[in-house]
A = this chain, B = another copy of it.
């Protein structure tokens, strides 16, 4: 792996673990086993390197959501697949967590890939929910865009509950609760 690659991958790890404010160039360089000069050769500085890292993390997340939702299962099955997907719950979402970072939010450039990624996931889920409503899998009065927002929010918020308690239980409970709410009770 090239030095540039090593820097991006290491930055992705540290952004996930400690956020933007909590990640110093020095920490990146030490973990990557690279000297100061290399970083400033390939990138203009910390924001530039972080931007490359965030963009890649967003791409990967979108690709993984595509894999989960591009199945021929029922709409419920695909929502379930998204919610029950294997996750390192206590690590949280590598994209969502950046929304709690003051410097990321203050920079339109750093925030853009975060925004695009989350909007993409919500949009893809909305399409699935719409199909589910059309097919009668979900209740007819549901607004796909709103339900999709609730699904993504349940996941993002589930991380908050789990991390607060130091255990994954609360995340799983929230997912179970949402799935129960999605199941129709007005027919067999």
Contacts and interface: CB of A to CB of B under 8 A. Distances in A.
A84 interface: no
Nearest to A142: B180
A160 interface: yes
Interface stretch (A29-37, A44-52, A61-69, A145-153): A145-153
A115 interface: yes
A169 to B, nearest CB: 9
A183 B100 CA distance: 32
A114 to B, nearest CB: 5
Contact of A156 (B18, B157, B175, B182): B157
Nearest to A100: B100
Contacts of A145: 173, 177
A154 B164 contact: no
A165 interface: yes
Given A150-B178, A184-B186, 6 more contacts: A21-B21, A99-B163, A105-B163, A118-B164, A142-B180, A147-B181
